[in-house]
Structure formats: structure tokens, C-alpha cells
Chain A
Amino acid sequence: MGIDLIFRIAAIGILVSVLNAVLNKSGREEQAMMTTLAGLIVVLLMIVKEIAGLFDTVKTIFNF
């Protein structure tokens, strides 16, 4: 965790949006959709551990 992760996700977001624009401009809507989806999945994989940590914290707070 740390500021590092946020920067990385921001960079991926910028990249995916640019890729999306490029692919859309050359008339490849399906591939543009696919890159967006791939970016989403990559980011989700990155933060899945953090989400699990969040749930653990919530659990310990309410003493489950």
C-alpha cells in the first residue's frame, strides 16, 4: 500500500483512455472496448488485496 499504488492506477487510467481514443479514431470500437476492459481487470487485480484488507478491518472493528 502507499501512494505508489495510486500513482500506478492513475497512470494505467491515462494510458487506457489514450489507447481508447486512438483505437476509436481508427474505427476499431471492439478493440477499444477490450482495452478498456483489460485496464479495468488489471486495476482490479492490483487492488484486490487492499479490498480484502478493508473487509478484514471492518470485521475486526465490529468484532465478528
Chain B
Amino acid sequence: MLLKLIGSLLIMAASSFLGVYFSKECARRPRELRELQRLLQMFENEISFLSSTVTEAFIKLSGYYESNIRLFFSQAAEILMHKNGINASEAWEMAVKENIKKTALKKEDEAIVLSFGKMLGASDLEGQISNIRLTLTQLKMQEEKAEEEKEKNKTMYMNLGVLGGLAIVIILI
């Protein structure tokens, strides 16, 4: 009897933990999209007012946040510094492709981020700034969508975890 009780408690704990984990996980994407927007905003300031080079700006930006989003910037800066014959957009693409798995971003977000990189360093200051603005509006739309999805899924994962655990316990007893 005691063994059964302990076992069912363990199952409940595990499945509830899983539910909480997944509901936390689905809050990650909107947060990272917001962070990316903030970083791009800073990048715009960096190149328009301080007129620093891409490498300098990336190094500076990668110090601002602790999340995995900054890996894009730090890795791109590293590639730019240490590899010869690679321009900014190639470095950006490599950095993004390498680190996208560590973030919660989806394929559609990746496409936007990569298309930002395509224009990187390919035009004058005006063009660069309008490219950043365009990316920002696209990311804003993605963020709204992600936020909606999060609201829908957050409570569901929590409930699903607890109730699923309960179901397993009842079936096994």
C-alpha cells in the first residue's frame, strides 16, 4: 500500500514537473523575439549615431543580454574577427545557422533573421537603417503571434501535465 502511494506520488510529481517545464518553455519564444528586437534597436543606434563598424557593434551588443539570442551577435563578431575573406552577411548567416537550435525561434523567425543578414553591409547607412526597421516590424508581428500562441498553450500544458499524471496513476492502481 505504502509502495503504491509513493509510486503514484512520484508519477504525479514527474508529470506535473513536465507540464510546468513545457508551459515555461512556450514563454521563451516571445521573450527571445522581444530581446532580438531590442538588440536590433541598439544596433541601429550603434551604427547611425556612433557610426561604429559592424564588428564593434556586435561585440558591444553581445554583452547586453544573458540569453542565447546574443550568441548570434557574439559568434558573428568572432567569425568576422578571426576568419579572413568573409563579409558581414556571410558571418551573420553562419552564426545564425549555428545557434538557432539553442534558441526557441521557429523557422519563420529564422527566415526573417536571415533576410536581415542578406542586406547587412550591402548598402549605405540609409539602406541599412531601413533594413533594420523592416526587420523590426516583421519581428514585431512574429512576437504578437507568438504571444497569442503562448497565452493559448501555457495553461493547457500545465493542466495536461497534472491531469495526465492523474490518469496514469488511476490506470495503474
Contact = CB atoms under 8 A, between A and B. Distances in A.
Interface of A: 8, 11-12, 15-16, 18-19, 22-23, 25-28, 42
A26 B167 contact: no
Contacts of B156: 22-23, 25-26, 28
B159 A22 contact: yes
A41 to B, nearest CB: 11
A23 B159 CA distance: 9
A35 B153 CA distance: 17
A8 B155 CA distance: 26
Given A8-B170, A8-B173, A42-B171, A15 B163 contact: yes
Nearest to A46: B171
Contacts, number: 33
B99 to A, nearest CB: 31
Interface in B128-170: 152-153, 155-156, 159-160, 163-164, 166-167, 170
Given A8-B173, A11-B170, A42-B171, A19 B152 contact: no
A8 B153 CA distance: 29
Contacts of B155: 22, 26
Contacts of B153: 26
